[in-house]
Amino acid sequence: MKTLLLPALLFCCQMAAFAMQSTVCNPDGTVTFRYKNDHAREVFADVQFAGRHAMTRDADGVWSVTLGPAAPDMYPYCFIVDGVSVMDPENPDYFPNEGFKSSLLEIPAVTGALPHDIRNVPHGPVEYIHYFSESLGDVNNAVVCLPPSYYTDTAKRYPVFYLISGTTDTEEVYYKVGRVNYILDNLVADGNAEEMIVVLPYGNPGKLSATPKLSFAGTQDIFGKDLLTDLMPYIEKNYRTINDSDHRAIGGFSRGGNQALAYGLTNLDKFSYLCSYSSFTSTEIPEVYDNSADTNGKINLFWLGVGTDDFLYGNARDYMEFLDKKSIRCVKEYTDDKFGHTWMNAKYFLGKSLPLLFRKEAAREAMNAGRPALAATGNEPQFTPGVMARLFPKPVVSPEYLEDGIIFRMKAPEAEKVEFMSELSPAPVIMERDSDGIWEMQMDEGFDKVFTYRFIVDGTPVADPQNMYIAPSKGFKPSISRHPACGYVFTSMGRDVPHGKVRYDLNEGTATYVPAEVAGEEGAPVVVRLLPGADDTAESWFKVGGADAIADMMIYSGECRPCILTTSPVKADCEVRADDYATWEQRRQALKAALLQLK
């Protein structure tokens, strides 16, 4: 054990010695970015409010640049190190995404408060759920944001807003980047919005399956079937919801806006509040568009927002004009100062539309006051197949899960050497480069475990750009390999395993797993405290350790009684300390042993 721990401890000490404040918000509105790297030949800071700018290296190997000024908001950024994009290793906040890996910068307001600020008001819990999807043939997941009164006013039922993220986004983005729960909590506290349940689905569920399926190709695709026949019934069975069209809303950003309008307009018996943020949808729904009186009578709110500098603006404007010609009422909102197709716009649109949801009179007044679409100039950007190919080039597949192994790939055509390193092996493995600059290696042993790994590109640690699963560590965030053959992967569990919920409070830094059946013997649930490691966050035991998946399986099989797992400092029947073990596999085994003892 000491032999295994020593290299890790030395690495942590080295990182602590170099610890610094990597982003500094200056009084004049500029931001100074710092990045420590002794190996890099060239480094750029790539920031959404400023674009890409070269950084300067000092004698200590610290690269820096000052950019801006910029308006107070939240902005994605990364560093481009010798042609490879890397997250800020000193920043715990990151942008969840299937592909690109960026950190998050928050520039606070000098005076007043921003809509997404985490204010001292009542906050509702945020729960991560897993459910078996008949449409997908696998376990799917979603995030559920509950109102502050949900667990105190147990007789109350709530309307539901299904809110979908954009292309390549995960179900976490409207929570961690869009901050929908905090925006809504602030509005509710000020009396400017109704309490509601907000459900954040994963918009590309076909990617979860061991055999990826079609993600979006019209109104009858996998996502739509899952939403209507799997996720909605799960929500209405497991939460106190009001189940009629007057109390259901659907909305989304980018591709999510397209999906929201497609399923909303073709299911007006289920949804009467429709919101599209930076998007548009098909004009080929004649039974809706050609019957404006009937459609207008069914829709309480039709809300559309887009930036005039968005690459989708031309398509969105054309769609708004189409609705005007069809006499379909809608609210139209435009921006020109939030950098186009961005989550700054997505948050702004939430702040404008949430106060109208489930307030029929206010929503209808806004619809009646809706202005016509802006006139066309002929210079509007249009979303074409060429733009699609440029924004979303054919990805490198990594990891590629085989029946008897895993192939890892990293595109780095300018690199001289790329190595693969995982928590399962103490020494890095040199990867092989092909003629296209793609580096590759195959793992044939230990592949059926859940483990963290990273690429080392000419001495620089890099998370796998193609892997959506990231360890939520305080420092460098490695990728997570989750082979479908591993028993701790939800998609391998089948339809019969009941799944608990994990409640997160990232503001307080806590996470708690509650089983599908809370009561244990004599009504008293077993409580196990999980202590995160030195570099872990409250999410680590669940996102990397799979503690909730382990508990689900052991409760289902009868190996342990229903239990609560928590990182909170509470009185517990036992505790498991992450720092007592060198790898996550050892930590999982320790948790299983603890649960077996509590049977």
- Amino acid present at 301: L
Tokens 């399962």 belong to: 424
| pTM to 2 decimal places | 0.93
Instruction: Tally Cβ neighbours within 10 Å of residue 220.
Output: 10
DSSP SS3 for 226: helix
> Is 54 a residue whose pLDDT tops 90?
yes
Average pLDDT rounded to a whole number, residues 460-467: 96
Question: According to the 3-state scheme, what is the secondary structure of 353-385?
Answer: HHHHCCCHHHHHHHHHCCCCCCCCCCCCCCCCH
Average pLDDT rounded to a whole number, residues 413-440: 94
Which pairs from 579-582 meet CB under 8 Å and 24+ separation?
Answer: 579/531, 579/533, 579/534, 582/1, 582/4, 582/5, 582/8
> Is 216 a residue whose pLDDT tops 80?
no
**Domains, the chain, ordered by start:** 20-107 (2.60.40.10), 126-368 (3.40.50.1820), 400-479 (2.60.40.10), 496-597 (no CATH)
Q: Percentage of residues in the chain with pLDDT exceeding 70?
A: 94
DSSP SS3 for 458: coil
- Residue range 169-189, pLDDT digits in tens: 999 999 999 999 999 999 999
- What is the edge-to-edge ordering of all strands in the sheet holding 438-443? 400-402, 405-411, 438-443, 432-433
Detail the DSSP E strand segments found in 483-548.
501-505, 510-514, 526-531
Beta-sheet pairing, 501-505 with 510-514: antiparallel
Supply the DSSP string of 148-204, one letter for each residue.
TTTTTSTT--B-EEEEE--TTB-TTHHHHTS-HHHHHHHHHHTTSS---EEEEE-S-
> Is 525 a residue whose pLDDT tops 50?
yes
pLDDT at position 386: 79
Q: 117, exposed or middle or buried, with CB in 10 Å at 0-12, 13-18, 19+?
A: middle
| Residues 497, 482: Cα–Cα separation, whole Å | 19
Distances (CA, A) of 124 to 196, 298, 503, 525: 10, 31, 10, 23
| Residues 159, 409: Cα–Cα separation, whole Å | 45
303: which residues sit within 8 A by CB, 6+ positions away? 251, 273, 274, 275, 276, 330, 331, 333, 352, 353, 356, 366
What is the maximum span of the chain, computed from C-alpha positions, in angstroms?
75
Tokens 């009858």 belong to: 220
| Residues 217, 92: Cα–Cα separation, whole Å | 36
- Label residue 507 by pLDDT band (50, 70, 90): confident
| Tokens describing residue 576 | 């498991």
Average pLDDT rounded to a whole number, residues 192-200: 98
- Label residue 518 by pLDDT band (50, 70, 90): low
> Is 9 a residue whose pLDDT tops 70?
no
pLDDT at position 18: 45
pLDDT at position 15: 37
| Tokens describing residue 329 | 């009422």
Q: 71, exposed or middle or buried, with CB in 10 Å at 0-12, 13-18, 19+?
A: middle
Reported as half-sphere exposure (CB side, CA atoms, 13 A), residue 594 has a value of 24
| Residues shown for the chain | 599
Reported as half-sphere exposure (CB side, CA atoms, 13 A), residue 354 has a value of 30
pLDDT at position 209: 63
Instruction: Tally Cβ neighbours within 10 Å of residue 364.
Output: 16
- Residue range 99-142, pLDDT digits in tens: 889 999 999 999 889 999 999 999 999 999 999 999 988 899 99
